[in-house]
């Protein structure tokens, strides 16, 4: 998608502070972090939402979660705890129509939703 900001980060048209990358997944710092660690994990191929991903490429789900596991290990938050958030669709709070996961940690998060 030409106007998708995450596709532009994946292609290098827009710089991103990349922390992890495979052939199919990219992880980078969120530009508006809500915690000391706030990383976005996205498939490099554009999928608008979870349903679209599952309908087309179920095997990528495992690769996304393996990437998440790698990022939390690299940022040393796997033991103390972290939050994974995926907003799906407009009513679910998804503001960028490219499937993505937020990894949030590095501080005590409490019970409120981010």
Residues with active-site annotation: 100
Asked whether the CA dihedral 45, 100, 9, 77 is positive or negative, the reply is negative
Of residues 3, 2, 35, 37, the one with CA closest to residue 20: 37
Query: How many Cα atoms within 13 Å fall on the side-chain side of residue 104?
Result: 18
């Amino acid at each position: 998608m030409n106007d998708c900001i995450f596709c532009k980060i994946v292609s290098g048209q827009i710089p991103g502070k990349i922390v992890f990358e495979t052939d199919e997944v990219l992880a980078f710092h969120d530009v508006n972090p809500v915690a000391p660690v706030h990383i976005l994990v996205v498939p490099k191929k554009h999928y608008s939402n979870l349903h679209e991903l599952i309908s087309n490429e179920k095997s990528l789900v495992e690769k996304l979660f393996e990437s998440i596991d790698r990022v939390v290990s690299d940022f040393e938050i796997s033991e103390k705890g972290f939050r994974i958030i995926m907003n799906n669709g407009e009513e679910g709070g998804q503001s960028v129509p490219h499937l993505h996961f937020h990894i949030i940690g590095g501080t005590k998060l409490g019970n409120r939703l981010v």
